[in-house]
Amino acid sequence: MEIQIVVTLFVLFAASRIILQYKNENVSKRALIFWLIIWGIVTGVAFWPNLVDRLARYFGVSRGIDVVVYFGLVALFYMIYRAYIKIEHLERDITKIVRSIALKDLDKKE
């Protein structure tokens, strides 16, 4: 029972942080919804751990915690992939901006 209290307090804290970030326009509505769903799932797992065991049996995994770890790893790899793509786009944009500024400076010197 104590774990449900701790998880609930943590989820409320985390949800309040993401809502605050959304209100300050630091995250998109899509990110807000994503994280609220994630924290809702965490709360659900804390209160109904048997659901995770059923999910594990459905996927042919022996323990519930294993399926949580597997899904967590898949989610992390996806998020790393998304961050990598975003960084690539930023690098390309920065290169274009620097090239444009350099060409303008070159024209001014001539």
| Phi and psi at residue 105, to the nearest 5° | -65, -35
List all residues 6 or more positions away from 3 whose beta carbon is below 8 Å from its beta carbon.
46
Number of domains the chain contains = 2
Q: Is residue 54 in some structural domain?
A: no
Whether residue 97 lies inside any domain: the answer is yes
Residue 53, C-beta contacts closer than 8 angstroms, at least 6 positions apart:
63, 64
pLDDT for 28 = 94
55 found inside a domain? no
Residue 30 has pLDDT above 90, yes or no: yes
Same domain, 30 and 1: yes
Per the prediction, the chain carries an average pLDDT of 93
* Residue 110 domain boundaries: 65-110
CA-to-CA separations, 33 to 37, 52, 75, 89, 98, in angstroms, rounded? 6, 22, 16, 24, 35
What digits encode the pLDDT tens for the residues 83-104?
999 999 999 999 999 999 999 8
pTM, full prediction: 0.71
Residue 57 lies in a domain: no
